[in-house]
Structure 1
Amino acid sequence: MASKQETKSKQENSSKKEDVADNQELNSLIEALSGDLTAIDSDAAVDLIDEWHGSLGKAKESDVKEIATHLKHLKQLLKGGKATGHDIGETLIQIGEETSHLASNADKEVKNPLQKLGKQLSKIGVSLSKADDREQIEHINSVVETLEGDLIEIEPEAALSAIDTWHSLLQKSDDENIKEIANGLKELKQLLKRKTAKSQDFAEVLTKLGEQTQQSADEATRGFKRPIQKLGKLLSKAGKSLE
């Protein structure tokens, strides 16, 4: 019969082995995240998430469970194919912050890798969010530039392209006001394709879109507010010019 000391020794050895395994797993995650993320396809990213989620799923600690829950959400975003860079970025930032918090109470063996992983996740999240924001602002500015020109000289193809670009930015939103703008854009596109459409028809749709866009600017985040306000004013102006 094993003595208490032998049992304790076995438990300590088992714990050390688990720490080493956890450390190796964390380091492999850090290494993957330190590389060129654009080279990682979605399947590989999902595999990484599954690997990490699998190691956390059995944990009883509430902090660890939260990370596991958000990893599951991240996986859904990646597999859904409709998430924006901002959506993914926000989730990564959240997981990064939770991982850093977990590191503060972690054992010595995994403390540093967890801290490093948390920082890396947050950094990637911020980078993705900023890149997505920049792209969206560029799209908005492109529409603004189109509206600032002579509307009569705008080619139908260019107008349709601008509408499609804007619509693609809005259609994924769950916000009811944004959905209304997306529907208005759809209506505008249908008018452009209709040969019998009158100026008054365009005027009504553009004016309404302008009002809705300016209203959405009030709730927009910093960086988006001004370009969206400008876009709304130009849409209203374009609508009035056609009355």
Structure 2
Amino acid sequence: MNNKRLFAIVGSVLFAGLSVYYATPVFAPQIEEPARTPFWEVTVEPNLNSPTVFNTTLNKSTIKDAIRTFGNRLSLSIFEEKGKLTLEGYFRETLAGGLSGRVAFTPEKDEALFRELISNLEPHKRSTSERTIYDLPKEMQAKVEHLKVTSLAFIPLAVQVKEEDILRNFGPTDYIFDDKRNSITHYLYPAIGVDATLDRSGSKASYIQYSPLESYHERIIEPLLQNKSIIKREVKRDKTDSAESFESAQ
């Protein structure tokens, strides 16, 4: 999932507080099988080489599975850009690991299906000259529920995630990247497919992005390395500390 697009999705989200208490949405979504583990509890399916978080295994769990876990407040949109079609999903409000939040995800691509769906839809007014957006009405969502989820991002709403929270829960990493243009920082954990992206100023929502290990370099690392405004932070570490291996994902 493109980081710029994800920030556009969550840019209006405001943090509700600084505490780490469990919080519930004002109007609780209908959730059949709620995820009870926190966002930092990630396991990797060895056969799939994909992380599992919130009851969801990337490249295995379907959109229908995600609805059971994250609830019924789902928005789905097809984006047409440079002749290519992609589908993106967004749970506007959910409970995951005891925390209220929002979840954005991308499923596998099915160009023929997407073409069929947009043939019956009008472009949304959010469309631009470079990108056309088609929102899927609720009655059409069942046609894509079989597609597998390939990436996922969790946006906490009721807590402000800080650097110490990331390093304490995910562990130390030598691969921290700061954006010189703003207060955005990426904490990379290639072995579990995690990119924890924090906004230290609090003006934008921080989020945790989960990607399959085989595409982690392409999705996460390459865009960071190619961005000249992003620099790798020099991490001073005690010799006894062990850190995530960045090279293993290349």
Taking structure 2 as the reference length, the TM-score comes to 0.23
More strand by percentage: 2
Q: Which has the larger radius of gyration?
A: 1
Taking structure 1 as the reference length, the TM-score comes to 0.23
